[in-house]
Amino acid sequence: MNVKIRVPRYEANGAITPVFQTYTVAITPTTTVLDALNQIKGHQDGTLAFRRSCRSAMCGSCGVMVNGRNRLACNTRVAELNSSEVSVNPLPGFPVIRDLVVDWDPFFAKDAVMLPYLISDQTRPDDGTERLQSPSDARQIDSPSSCIQCGCCSSACPVQWTNSEYYGPAALTRSYRFVEDSRDTAVKARLDIVGTETGVWRCHTIFNCTSDCPKGILNTENIQALKRKIMLSRLGLGRIEVRARVPESA
Ligand code: FES
């Protein structure tokens, strides 16, 4: 079966309006969008630019918009799109460098603001072993920890499109992952970082970030949990437990 793949071709830095090019690709029931792009690059047009690495939905490199939804190219089967023409576009809201390649610097700069590492003022166990968690505490951070930083969520957020200063759901879920970590002792500093106009209060609960997350992370709920934690902490009620729902698949 043949399918048409429609791709915008951008000049350097996306400064020029793209010219759309259509390629015809032979697919099987298991051909992914990434397979199709590889087929184009390998056999039809070596100048087509796109990112990929692991081909197994782990590295987060291949996020693109496919037929209007943000997805990982490597785990989206062309046949399951039920479309004779598939449009593949760079992630919206990100500056385009060329074709399907976008600039990740602003995205990772926001991630760095979240202090994306464990901070603890507790001494390590005497025998030098790791800091342990209960299974239920570990389960609470399973879902936000499964984020692969593909950018599909932040790119799907209309608030992010209109306000590039907004941290966005990926960075906020990253913060939530450490706020919810029973071993982390920097919760107040973390809540101060996200409790700003460019943080959680900019979220309008549109839910695009949740619906387009290829890992099923409930980003919107994580952001709402951060809002409630900030409010309770400002009211001096920080000991009340507020947690986002854990996805059923987690
Ligand atoms: S190539 Fe690594 S997530 Fe798709």
> Residue 126: what pLDDT?
80
Which residues line ligand 1 at a C-beta cut-off of 6 Å? 52-55, 57-62, 72, 74
Architecture per CATH, domain 2-102, reads as Roll (3.10)
> Residue 163: what pLDDT?
95
In angstroms, rounded to a whole number, what is the distance separating the alpha carbons of residues 225 and 95?
30
Residue 247 or residue 105, greater confidence? 105
Q: Determine the average pLDDT of the residues in 167-183.
A: 97
Is the pLDDT at 250 greater than 70? The verdict is: no
**Strand blocks (E) in 81-181:** 85-89, 96-98, 101-102
Is the pLDDT at 15 greater than 60? The verdict is: no
88-115 residue pLDDT tens: 999 999 999 999 999 999 999 999 999 9
As a CATH number, domain 105-234 is 1.10.1060.10
**Residue boundaries of the structural domains of the chain:** 2-102, 105-234
Separation of 57 CA from ligand 1 center, angstroms?
Answer: 4
> Residue 100: what pLDDT?
96
Average pLDDT in the chain: 93
Separation of 97 CA from ligand 1 center, angstroms?
Answer: 19
3-state SS, residue 183:
coil
Is the pLDDT at 239 greater than 70? The verdict is: no
Q: Determine the average pLDDT of the residues in 79-85.
A: 95
Q: Is the pTM of this model over 0.85?
A: yes
